[in-house]
């Protein structure tokens, strides 16, 4: 059953207003003493994320509606979801119980196979031109671009995606200074795109976004570990020395296995005055010269 909801206008992390929208097609209700706090649910293939700010999949509110799980998106902090009606579906609730803190997780990270078979690395052997370079894993949605099924007049790209015989248009906005950022990062590092979105959307976006061939490899949702309701990018599976691996991502849940390797960035949606990617370039220019990233990133976290 389809639930009708709205997202109340609120301030995003970039100081922009998030308009009221019916994008989110399904929500299950969570009650609190203060009233109804909607818990955003990812309803098609997987359990519910514990952190409702992560992993929400936006969809255009048409009758046919594009799939909920094409783009891995993160709502701005503070967005509040209100139900227009209180239609509850008991059979859906039984399938979408949250993973509690005290309940054991059965993902491949927490319970590895009994017979430890060496896992093939996610990345091929490093190319000679990148030998000795740090590997930088870069997220896509809300880090480099923001995508939506809702038409926008200033879209940088419009990506047609065919799902079950129906073509849906995805409207993509580029984060300010993403061109300068990717060009310079490709010169300094072995860059790898790693997104929790599906390849049928993310691959054509990357084709248009990466003009300089900065990405030596691309990894998509199937390369993630689904852990406690979140798509996690397990850096230990890349086939690279973790002392020379960095992840740039707007979602802390994505790097929960390796927080010490992360350079967090604020989620970006539509603020054209944003300079975060531009501001990061000098830091990465310095970082490219070190042999061990941990000390530098620790200093960065303590001073920021």
The closest alpha carbon to 249, from 115, 114, 138, 91, belongs to 138
Please report, for the chain, the start and end positions of each structural domain, with discontinuous segments joined by +: 128-303
Catalytic residue status for 291: no
| 168-196 burial code (b ≥16 CB/10 A, e <16) | bebbbbbbbbbeebbebbbebbbbbbbbb
Structure confidence at residue 118 (pLDDT): 54
> Helix crossing, 178-188 with 276-287: angle to 10°?
10
Q: Which residue out of 23, 141, 210, 249 is catalytically annotated?
A: 141
Q: Is the pTM of this model over 0.75?
A: no
Structure confidence at residue 106 (pLDDT): 72
Structure confidence at residue 266 (pLDDT): 97
DSSP track, 97-114: ----TTSPP-STTTS--S
d(CA 209, CA 214): 10
85-92 long-range contacts, Cβ below 8 Å, gap at least 24?
Answer: 85/3, 85/4, 86/29, 87/1, 87/3, 88/28, 88/29, 89/1, 89/3, 89/28, 92/1, 92/28, 92/43
CATH number of 128-303: 3.40.50.1000
Give the distance from CA 172 to its chain's centroid: 15
**CA distance between the termini of the chain:** 46
Structure confidence at residue 196 (pLDDT): 97
In 3-state terms, what secondary structure has residue 286? helix
Structure confidence at residue 70 (pLDDT): 80
Structure confidence at residue 235 (pLDDT): 97
Catalytic residue status for 139: yes
Structure confidence at residue 85 (pLDDT): 33
Spans of the chain below 70 pLDDT: 1-68, 74-103, 111-118, 304
Q: Which residue out of 37, 95, 97, 139 is catalytically annotated?
A: 139
Which residues, 6 or more positions from 128, have their beta carbon under 8 angstroms from its beta carbon?
A: none
Is the separation of the CB atoms in 25 and 68 below 8 Å? yes
The closest alpha carbon to 194, from 266, 140, 245, 148, belongs to 140
Query: For 180-205, how does the pLDDT look when each residue is reduced to its tens digit (9 = 90+)?
Result: 999 999 999 999 999 999 999 999 99
């Amino acid at each position: 059953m389809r639930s009708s909801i709205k997202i109340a206008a609120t301030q995003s992390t970039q100081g922009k207003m998030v308009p009221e929208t019916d994008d989110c097609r399904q929500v299950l209700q969570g009650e609190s003493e203060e009233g109804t706090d909607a818990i955003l649910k990812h309803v098609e293939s997987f359990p519910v994320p514990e952190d409702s700010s992560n992993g929400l999949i936006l969809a255009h509110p048409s009758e046919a509606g594009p799939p909920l799980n094409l783009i891995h998106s993160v709502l701005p902090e503070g967005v509040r979801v209100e139900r227009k009606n209180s239609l509850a579906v008991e059979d859906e609730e039984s399938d979408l119980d949250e993973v509690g803190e005290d309940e054991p997780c059965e993902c491949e990270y927490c319970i590895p196979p009994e017979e430890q078979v060496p896992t093939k690395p996610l990345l091929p052997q490093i190319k000679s031109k990148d030998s000795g370079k740090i590997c930088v894993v870069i997220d896509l949605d809300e880090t480099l671009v923001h995508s939506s099924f809702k038409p926008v007049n200033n879209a940088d790209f419009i990506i047609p995606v065919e799902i079950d015989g129906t073509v849906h248009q995805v409207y993509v906005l580029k984060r300010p200074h993403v061109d300068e950022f990717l060009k310079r990062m490709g010169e300094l590092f072995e860059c790898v795109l790693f997104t929790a979105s599906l390849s049928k959307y993310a691959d054509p976006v990357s084709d248009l976004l990466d003009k300089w061939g900065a990405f030596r490899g691309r990894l998509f949702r199937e390369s993630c570990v689904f852990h406690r309701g979140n798509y996690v990018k397990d850096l230990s599976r890349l086939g690279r020395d973790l002392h020379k691996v960095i992840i740039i991502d707007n979602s802390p849940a994505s790097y929960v296995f390796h927080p010490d390797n992360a350079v967090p960035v604020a989620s970006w949606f539509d603020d054209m005055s944003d300079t975060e990617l531009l501001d990061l370039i000098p830091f990465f220019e310095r970082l490219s010269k070190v042999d061990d990233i941990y000390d530098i990133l620790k200093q960065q976290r303590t001073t920021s």
